[in-house]
Each structure stands twice: as C-alpha cells, then as structure tokens.
Amino acid sequence: MKDSLRIHCSRQNLQQVRDFVRGFLITAQRSDMVVNQVVLAVDEVVANFIIHANGEDATQFLDLLLVLTNQQLDIEIEDHGSTLFLPAGKVPTPDLRAYIQQGRKGGMGMALVSRIMDRVEFFERNSHTVCHLSKVLA
Amino acid sequence: MKVTAQPADTTLTLFLDGELDASSAVVLDTELNKPELLKFKKVLIDCQKLSYISSAGLGVFISHLQRLQDSNVKLVFYNMQEKVFNVFEILGLDSLMTIVPTEKEAQAA
C-alpha cells in the first residue's frame, strides 16, 4: 500500500499533510493513538522543512511518500528547495524544566519525532534533502 | 483553531477547539500574552475539543508557564483527549504540568 502527496512550502498546508497521513493510516486500520503519533512525526518534519529549510517560500515544494508493507511503515519527505537541510536524525529529549524556566517555544519537534519513530534519517539525494522515517506499527 | 475565553471571578477558562499546530499556535499565544491574564488566580484550559497538538502548541504553553507561575497564576488542563495527553506524555510534560480529567478537579486543583 502506498500513496504520495506534493505540497508547497506554506504552513497553511500542514492541515492537508495531516489529513493525508491520517487518511492513509485509517485505511490501513491502525489505532487512533498510533495514527496520531505518526501524523505528529510527519507534521513536525514537514513544518521544519517549510519554516527552517525554505523560509516559508510557497514557490518551493515537498514530496511525501508513504509505503506500508505488512507492519513496516516507511515515509519519505523530499525537499525540492535549493538549500540542503541536514539536521541530526534521532535527538535526545531536551531538559524541559530548563525550557520552562527560559520560556522557550521551540526545540521539541525532533525530540517528539525521535521518540515516535524507529528510524529518523536525513540525507542528500540529487542535491535535495530527503528525510526517511520508519516504524514497525503495532 | 478557535480559542474562547470565559472569565468567572478569579478563574479564566480558555476553551480550545480544533488542531493546534505551527500554523495556528499564534492564536493561542496571543491569548496567553494578554496582560489581564495575570489578574486571575487560575487559568483553566478546556481541551475537550482540542483534537491535535504539535510541538508548536506545546511550546506556547511552555513559554508562558514560568511567567504565570511567577505571577501566582495556576495553569490547569482538563478534559484532554487520550491521544492529545499522549503527546504530553511522550516528552514527560505530563509530570511538569497540571493535567486533570474533569472540570471539577480542575476547579479544585
């Protein structure tokens, strides 16, 4: 089972991304909790690509590919922007007590992705950044 | 995302409706930034109709928590859907914030 989506780099398109991932996983009859976690992981990576890699330039676009083979879910998010964006894949959970004291807003997205997905990798392909997420679904 | 504020004596209740993400978090941030918020003893967040939260939404609450605590304003979440609570749990935020099941418990917190 596979499906794909292309979106332009605008925050307004995050809802479309979530609806796409939800629809795919609900069709695959996954639990509400698992669906929400995977939707969240994809939303976080896509938001980072839109905001940090592309500066919300809506002329740029991202391609999403979801592939479910038995229990194995593979997700590829390819950024067609001209700037390479290669953050660390898996990151540790930050010190949230310090974040609260500092009044920090950001810095938790990739920690959530790391806790949810089995594998998180960013790499370069044809001068573009690709993020590969994978998870064995319960 | 729709945020509705309902003041009552020393308590302000914010009713959240919709999905809280990097696009909509600014709506909640604007509400929590209002200076009059600090006049209340308690800010209750009714999450019954909050169907999704991302790190941007968590970040809004985290960024205001210390300011509220410094002004002796207690922030309490209630009526949270299981899948939304799970997002708080993933990072351990459920142990750093006050999240209770019902409005009655929120009023008593």
Q: Domains along chain A? A: 2-136 (3.30.565.10)
Which H, E and C letters describe chain A, residue by residue? Answer: CEEEEEEECCHHHHHHHHHHHHHHHHHCCCCHHHHHHHHHHHHHHHHHHHHHHCCCCCCCEEEEEEEEECCEEEEEEEECCCCCCCCCCCCCCCCHHHHHHHCCCCCCHHHHHHHHCCEEEEEEECCEEEEEEEEECC
Per-residue model confidence as pLDDT tens digits over A21-61: 999 998 888 899 999 999 999 999 999 999 999 999 999 99
**Is A108 in Cβ contact with B91 (below 8 Å)?**
yes
**CB-CB: which of B22, B23, B82 is closest to A33?**
B82
**Is B66 in Cβ contact with A101 (below 8 Å)?**
yes
The predicted structure's pLDDT at residue A110: 96
Q: Which residues, numbered 53 to 92 in chain A, qualify as contacts with chain B under a Cβ-Cβ cut-off of 8 Å?
A: none
> From the CA of A33, how many Å to the nearest CA of chain B?
5
B2-108 domain in CATH 3.50.50.60?
no
Distance of CA B93 to the CA centre of its chain: 12
A54 phi and psi angles, rounded to 5 deg: -120, 0
Strand partners, A123: A130
Residue in chain B closest to A17 (alpha carbons) equals: B21
The predicted structure's pLDDT at residue A61: 96
DSSP structure string for B6-68: EEETTEEEEEEEEEESTTTHHHHHHHHT-GGGGGSSEEEEEEEEEEEE-HHHHHHHHHHHHHH
A to B CB pairs, distance under 8 Å:
89
Collect all residues of chain B within an 8 Å Cβ-Cβ radius of residue A109: 54-56
Collect all residues of chain B within an 8 Å Cβ-Cβ radius of residue A103: 62-67
**Is A109 in Cβ contact with B55 (below 8 Å)?**
yes
Q: What is the pLDDT along chain A (138 residues), one digit of tens a residue?
A: 999 999 999 999 999 999 999 999 988 888 999 999 999 999 999 999 999 999 999 999 999 999 999 999 999 999 998 888 888 888 999 999 999 999 999 999 999 999 999 999 999 999 999 999 999 997
Taking alpha carbons only, the member of A128, A114, A56, A5 closest to residue B22 is A56
**CB-CB: which of A11, A106, A111 is closest to B23?**
A11
Return all residues near A62 (Cβ < 8 A) that are at least 6 apart: A6, A7, A9, A46, A49, A50, A77, A78, A79, A80
The predicted structure's pLDDT at residue A94: 92
**Which portions of chain B are predicted below pLDDT 50?**
none
Rounded distance between C-alpha atoms, residue B70 and residue B76, angstroms: 15
**CB-CB: which of B83, B86, B92 is closest to A96?**
B92
A39 touches chain B (CB under 8 A): yes
> So where are chain B's domains?
2-108
Whether A94 and A111 have beta carbons less than 8 Å apart is answered as yes
Per-residue model confidence as pLDDT tens digits over B8-34: 999 999 999 999 999 999 999 999 999
> From the CA of B26, how many Å to the nearest CA of chain A?
11
Cβ neighbours around A6 below 10 Å, total: 11
CA distances in angstroms from A75 to A34, B44, B68, listed in the order given? 15, 37, 39
Whether the model pTM is above 0.90: yes
> From the CA of B103, how many Å to the nearest CA of chain A?
24
The predicted structure's pLDDT at residue A88: 85
Strand, coil or helix: B2: strand
Query: Taking the C-alpha atoms of B92, B97, B102 and B103 in order, what is their torsion angle to the nearest 10 degrees?
Result: -160
The predicted structure's pLDDT at residue A30: 87
The predicted structure's pLDDT at residue A15: 97
Collect all residues of chain A within an 8 Å Cβ-Cβ radius of residue B54: 40, 43-44, 47, 109, 112
